[in-house]
Amino acid sequence: MNTEMNARMKRLVAAALAAMVVGTAHGQALRPEVGKPLQAAESLIKSGKYREALVKVREADAVGGKSGAETTMVERMRLAAASGAGDADTATRSFEALSGGMSGAEKLRTIESIAGSYYRAKEYAKAQQWYARYFKEGGTSSANRTLMIQTQYLSGDFAGASKELMAEIQGAERNGAVPAEDRINLLMNAAVRQKDVNGEAFALERLVTYYPKKEYWVTLLSRLQRKPNFSDRLALDTYRLSLATGSMSSAADYSELAQLALQAGSGAEARQVIDKGFAAGVLGTGPEAGRHKRLRDLVIKRVDEAKKTQADDEKAALAAKDGNDLLTIGMNQVYEGQKAKGLQTMQQGIAKGGLKRAEDAKLHLGIAQLVAGENAKAQATLKTVSGTDGTADLARLWSLYARRAKAG
């Protein structure tokens, strides 16, 4: 909340509370020595002079032998002045003395005021307690729920903040709404503070789903590769996702991806990566420019050589006892632009069996389907990928990208 909004809120709350005091005072018999300072306090509250109003309230409170009605009026006016002054401790004492006789709406407004006063005073633990009380008493304000979560985080109750944020984000998703970016980020920060790996992953995956910024993908992919069980052989597929999401920017990454694709028998893909790197001005410049050009020449040479033996390679793959070579050839065909043929070849390879790694094969088919523009089929395939070496984790991230690519 900004300063101007804070001041306006204080004026409104104090004025409302003062009005309730005056309304309650009608018909009540107040002695002049009590009534006059309270009237002066009311005028001061309306003028925004809350500290001065508290002085007048204390003057009325000093009168001896007050009746029950007079004591109630003093506490009500003290509550109004203290709320305007941001004196939450004084307001709290008056509220506790009066709450039994308050209506539900009046009680909620007062609790909200006290919580706000503690929040503005940066007494976050107390603010959190009063916001929690607000909801316990039946409050429903979404703005106050946001403030309650904020106070949980600021007071160090990261577990409590995470629980509320998780419920909020999942509730928005169930209702078909997009969770707010700042709420997801707050959840991620709370998870990091608790070293909650699962919570951090949940938040990051929501960020790339709803707000697919480059920095979120960089963080998520970096986190994935740091997992103890993540296999080095998945580097190619990780680089592929980095390029697809626009989170690849260094010349070293472009070069590494091109070389890995070439080694995997996907020369057409390697050529595309090199071309994109040069077009973006990432490759072909700087002290490594000569090396980049030699890599481009090598890729072109390998692609040309592969074309000469392409027909024979396909025949040999079809005659082979297993489907490994068909998978390699099919992936390359997809990148060559022969999308339907390439997908069919890969599916033939999977059906033939005898695969080195069946889960990798499904992952690669899902990626190829996505490259071919078949997003729905890609998502269905990627959901079937299992494994504990990072394959399933990577497939899930590809699936997140597939859903976003389809929405875009």
Among 78, 103, 138, give the residue marking a domain's end.
138
Look at the chain and report how many structural domains it folds into.
3
Q: How would residue 86 be classed by pLDDT, with cut points 50, 70 and 90?
A: confident
Same domain, 115 and 238: no
**46 in a structural domain:** yes
**160 in a structural domain:** no
At 94-152, the pLDDT tens digits run 989 988 888 889 899 989 989 998 998 899 999 999 999 999 999 999 999 999 999 99
Domain hosting 381: range is: 233-407
**152 in a structural domain:** no
Q: How would residue 220 be classed by pLDDT, with cut points 50, 70 and 90?
A: very high
Tell me the mean pLDDT in the region 362-384. 96
Q: How would residue 398 be classed by pLDDT, with cut points 50, 70 and 90?
A: very high
Same domain, 132 and 195: no
Tell me the mean pLDDT in the region 369-394. 95
Q: For the chain, first and last CA: distance in Å?
A: 34
| Predicted local confidence at residue 139, as pLDDT | 93
**192 in a structural domain:** yes
Distance (Å, whole) CA 113 – CA 131: 10
Same domain, 124 and 173: no
Same domain, 54 and 185: no
Same domain, 179 and 98: no
| Predicted local confidence at residue 17, as pLDDT | 59
**171 in a structural domain:** yes
Specify the long-range contacts of residues 49-56, CB closer than 8 Å, at least 24 apart: 50/10, 50/14, 50/81, 50/82, 50/83, 50/84, 50/85, 50/86, 51/81, 51/85, 53/77, 53/80, 53/81, 53/84, 53/85, 54/78, 54/81, 54/82, 54/85, 54/87, 54/90
Q: How would residue 360 be classed by pLDDT, with cut points 50, 70 and 90?
A: very high
Tell me the mean pLDDT in the region 281-296. 96
Same domain, 402 and 256: yes
Same domain, 240 and 389: yes
Mean pLDDT of the chain: 91
Is the pLDDT at 16 greater than 90? The verdict is: no
Closest CA to 12 of 73, 77, 84, 78: 84
Same domain, 79 and 41: yes
Same domain, 131 and 268: no
At 19-40, the pLDDT tens digits run 555 445 444 578 999 999 999 9
**107 in a structural domain:** yes
Tell me the mean pLDDT in the region 175-187. 96
Same domain, 319 and 183: no
CB proximity list for 90: less than 8 A, separation 6 or greater = 54, 78, 82
| Predicted local confidence at residue 26, as pLDDT | 47
Q: How would residue 405 be classed by pLDDT, with cut points 50, 70 and 90?
A: low
Is the pLDDT at 371 greater than 50? The verdict is: yes
Same domain, 251 and 331: yes
**145 in a structural domain:** no
| Predicted local confidence at residue 217, as pLDDT | 96
**389 in a structural domain:** yes
Same domain, 204 and 239: no
CATH of the domain at 110: 1.25.40
pTM: 0.79
